[in-house]
Structure 1
Amino acid sequence: MKGARWRWTPTELLTALAAALLWMGIGLFQRTRAGTDLGAAAVAELPLTAVVFVVALVWIALRR
């Protein structure tokens, strides 16, 4: 990964955050529609949302 820079601009951070929030929103919608309580659905979605955020940041860094 020579040449990959691990400092992000605000735009890059907001892009990764948008991807994570979209993932969270879709997951919450699906889980609550299936009958899961909103709090339980949010707790269940948090780990994968964090993974999506990190993967988006890594992808941004590798595309530079």
Structure 2
Amino acid sequence: MSTQTPWIKAQASGGGGQCVEMRRNGRNVEVRDTKSHGTGPTLRFSPGEFSAWIDAAKGGELDGLSS
């Protein structure tokens, strides 16, 4: 039985090609660039790593990276 979930992206993402897709693969979370159509690299994060990243983003710790 496969433990991969389908690739998803945020509902708020537009068609500008600046999106990432995510899925669960086993215990890990995988992230890839949407515009690569599955041919580019895939980043893999443990549940703890992904949770820490989400918490940092929600807490504003990463806000300076986008400007």
TM bucket (normalised to shorter chain) is under 0.3
Q: Which has the larger radius of gyration?
A: 1
* Alignment TM-score, normalising by the size of structure 1: 0.28
* Alignment TM-score, normalising by the size of structure 2: 0.27
Pick the structure with more helix per residue: 1
Pick the structure with more strand per residue: 2
Which fold has the larger relative contact order, with Cα–Cα distance below 8 Å and residues 6 or more apart in sequence?
Answer: 1
